Structure 1
């Protein structure tokens, strides 16, 4: 389960966050992605100001890792870049060739590298089992040499598993999966597309020889969301039944694939809504909803708990 998004300073290392992590662990979760965001100004900004608010502090990151450990969870540290004006990070991009006087990929990757290496050192110091070096950076995905250089630099300071979380439909478009240890993607596929998309991903996994997980997967508890689970703003009424229907279909399709190694479900906030309000909550979190009981039962079966 992903915990802590979006990693806003002051929302971690609190009594509410302690309670949130405990309740997540009660759902038979055995891994968590501790996810937080650094916020650059625009999609064409070249500075990733990860030391500034609203990004959580190093102390908060260390607290979250150790709190997860106290519940017996393995940890993937997941630093992510967001854009302050609301542009999706997939659109961060620059000219293919660096041009004097214009913002460039070279400048951006230099700043992003500092952000990721800082996270890598934290992950190493705290013994995180995995580090995710990027998330849904669709326009940046083609910068193969830059990503390979970043992975090499990360391995100089971090000894655990390295993954990259590509966006949905991008699994067969990356040319540098051999550089990481685990292939991962955001599996927000329409409920009637699971078999076709898994067929496509299976070819990538077979060719790479790498393990595969969905670093993100899930569905809002909202009518209509099963058809477009990546759309967090899709209009609809709260519906725990819709979310459960999606989870049942996703788990059934993925269980039939022997190469499928797991899910890091999306998501679990650092401040939970009251369980009594679960029926009116239409977000991704499964707490107090029919999908929550289903996920807990399924996870217990998978880990033999």
Structure 2
């Protein structure tokens, strides 16, 4: 009887050890909670391969530093042929070169700026938005995620080698976001390649609350193009008031998820009515004051929100030229607003 009992105990111990080992293989550990710093940032943009290699981009980075930016998100554009194509790739003649990415990263670091890599997908020869990428067949989803992981995997390796501070694993890929298991796999792969920095995802302003896998990343990233007033000539107090419902929703979501939020994109064209539809203004009439007022209102409404770890302003074009009605702020009144809030003067 003692012999049988001893064998039974031994079997139970072995089973327990096996199950413990199985669980450790089959489930990724919860990400270690990281302190999310305040990020006074801007998004550096380019749509051509050699822009980031130029000396001109250094002028833009110096201006960002002068205006008080502490972080720069380097946009890295990838492509696919259509919203139903399963191949994601760097496009010759469009995507930035490796030499250019290394150049802007090293130069930004030399200025004391911290760097995020921010890949995002454009559709080749089309105005279609990456948020409409979707598939019907399961095999197409499998192929797309494999290709997407290969695409960002290259830049994750580069980010790790350059000691980049953070990596945004995707931007506004709304049609893919309900693929929870696939995105958790993307996060797991990203952490294995880029273990030292912060990892997040940039969700659109109208989809962030549907994502079920925020627990896997370090903070909630949002493209914050929230519609504000319906006026083409709003006052700053009116714009601030229009922020309040969005602030209430975001505060509640941050508390529910137990995660800080970073606006990985926020910006306004210098056009009349920009506040009514910030991701693309309804008119092409230049209005530099409305852009400045939107900046002022955003800073006043958001700067003391405890759940918000600041904002990356869209956009800082690699070449510091003034596009009279674009998102850029170089030499516009909005630049003075940014400098006042970021530098205090």
TM-score w.r.t. the length of structure 2 is 0.81
- Larger-Rg structure: 2
Alignment partner of 1:257 out of 305, 310, 318: 305
Aligned to 1:272: 320
1:155 and 2:191 are equivalent in the alignment: yes
User: For this pair of structures, how many residues does the alignment match?
Assistant: 291
1:141 and 2:177 are equivalent in the alignment: yes
Tell me how far apart the structure 2 counterparts of residues 230 and 163 of structure 1 sit (CA, whole Å): 21
Aligned to 2:265: 216
**What secondary structure sits across from 1:32 in the alignment?**
strand
Aligned to 1:174: 211
1:116 and 2:152 are equivalent in the alignment: yes
Deviations 1:113-147, CA, capped at 9 Å, x for gaps: 01111111111111111100000011011111000
Aligned to 2:71: 31
Alignment partner of 1:241 out of 269, 283, 289: 289
Give unmatched runs, 5+ long, in structure 1: none
- Alignment of structure 1 residues 48-87 onto 2, 5 Å: 48-50=88-90, 52-84=92-124, 85-87=126-128
**What secondary structure sits across from 1:231 in the alignment?**
coil
Structure 1 residue ranges, 4+ long, deviating more than 2 angstroms after superposition: 1-4, 190-193
Give unmatched runs, 5+ long, in structure 2: 1-40, 230-241
Tell me how far apart the structure 1 counterparts of residues 82 and 206 of structure 2 sit (CA, whole Å): 25
Q: Which has the higher helix share?
A: 2
Q: Is the 8 A contact 2:270 2:287 kept in 1?
A: yes
Alignment partner of 2:132 out of 91, 96, 112: 91
Q: Is the 8 A contact 2:266 2:311 kept in 1?
A: yes
Tell me how far apart the structure 1 counterparts of residues 199 and 135 of structure 2 sit (CA, whole Å): 26
Aligned to 2:336: 293
Tell me how far apart the structure 1 counterparts of residues 110 and 143 of structure 2 sit (CA, whole Å): 39
Q: Give the superposed CA RMSD.
A: 1.6
Q: Is the 8 A contact 1:4 1:12 kept in 2?
A: no
1:230 and 2:266 are equivalent in the alignment: no
1:284 and 2:324 are equivalent in the alignment: no
Tell me how far apart the structure 2 counterparts of residues 2 and 28 of structure 1 sit (CA, whole Å): 10
Deviations 1:169-197, CA, capped at 9 Å, x for gaps: 22211100000001110111123441111
